Amino acid sequence: MSTAAAPVAKDDGKITCELDGARVHVIQAYLKESHPEWTVERYRAAYPDAPLLSPAAAKRLAEKKAQAEEAAVTGHIERLPLAKVFETGDVPATKNKRNEPILIAVYKGHQPEALALVPEIDRNYVFNLELVKTALMGLEMRMNVYFWGYHGSGKTTLFEQACARTKRPFMRVQHTANTEEAHIIGQYVVQAVKRASKDAAGNDIEVLSTETVFQPGPLTIAMLNGYVYCADEYDFALPSVLALYQPILEGKPLYIKDAPPEMRMIKPHPDFRFVATGNTNGGGDETGLYQGTQIQNAANYSRMHIVEEVPYMEASIETAIVQSQASLKKADAEKLVKFANDIREAFKGGRIGMTISTRELITAGRLAAVRGSDYEAGLRQGYMNRMSRIDREAASQLAQRYFG
């Protein structure tokens, strides 16, 4: 006597309800709708080996739980359209390939200490949206980001203003050849302490004494509290000092061997992020402009997930920035940018020894404005007087072509 083979369940990603054979994602929701006399507890008791969630439903539940846990740690996170947060208007760069608005995390509910570290929004700052999206990708995905390029191209300010718009506490730490490990992770310091005591007559008095305490450094504070840590002028520090960052760049705890026991192992807060800026990519200065930068350890730089060279901006964007920041007429800002791009081309061609940054253009524009629109004087004081005599003469002749 032959027996019929049991029907094979459809490969539709769902699970089978043991009561009636229906294919569903969530047993609890299905029982409530189709078998209200059954509870999840009764179903589990009757069919202990039967799953309650399909793989897709279990994944969605895990994602929601992770988001809830993250929100509980940070206080509160809203996901808002990039165009709204950065006030860009409805432009294609703020949408994904499906023409949907790109949503980004905006933080709320900070404690007063953290709130004080959220940068102020500069509404005159003009964003390069592609760089903004690169920076936000690192911040959202917990990836280390390194921006490098010429001075004054807006590397650090971009990170700062991205944090201002998304309400992330931001700590900027400058690196020099004199930066030591203790300056970054912390050290013991002697501080004065007032203590209550009594004099010989039994009167209450305050006695001033000293004690040695461990003062945590900026990296330690940022890791403990979930701040964005910006290692500025990264390539100025000695490679031996930057080596202390390597476990941090891997997402591992910071171990401070000389700290008190309760502060020896610093685990990174879920909101801690590491970003860095420099004038070189770690391979040394190719231009001769950035004396003091070091040839860095490749192993350290290999731990940067995202590395992006930040060039000077497109003429239209730079014009908008100079016009906004220096309060100039558009025509005058355009002339300054044209002058700057001619200087940069001459620098690249080896005909002049110093380039000019957007920052210097803004300074020149402001100086010119208070001198009755004397742009030659503004450029001379804000830029050209730092050049060699020969370069200064060449730059002066170029300025006269635009403003003479």
Could you give the CA distance from residue 237 to residue 218 in angstroms, rounded to a whole number? Answer: 16
Short-list 252, 340, 267, 249, CA closest to 303: 249
Could you give the CA distance from residue 17 to residue 34 in angstroms, rounded to a whole number? Answer: 11
Instruction: Considering only CA atoms, give the Rg of the chain.
Output: 30
147-164 per-position pLDDT tens digit: 988 776 788 999 999 999
Q: What integer pLDDT is reported at residue 19 of this predicted model?
A: 94
**Terminal-to-terminal C-alpha distance of the chain:** 107
Q: What is this structure's pTM?
A: 0.70
Any idea where the domains of the chain sit in the sequence?
A: 15-71, 76-178+222-246+265-309, 315-403
Could you give the CA distance from residue 256 to residue 261 in angstroms, rounded to a whole number? Answer: 9
Phi first, then psi, for residue 244 (nearest 5°) are: -65, -20
79-136 per-position pLDDT tens digit: 999 999 999 988 999 998 889 999 999 998 888 999 999 999 998 787 889 999 999 9
pLDDT band at 4; cut points 50, 70, 90: very low
User: What is 76-178+222-246+265-309's CATH superfamily?
Assistant: P-loop containing nucleotide triphosphate hydrolases (3.40.50.300)
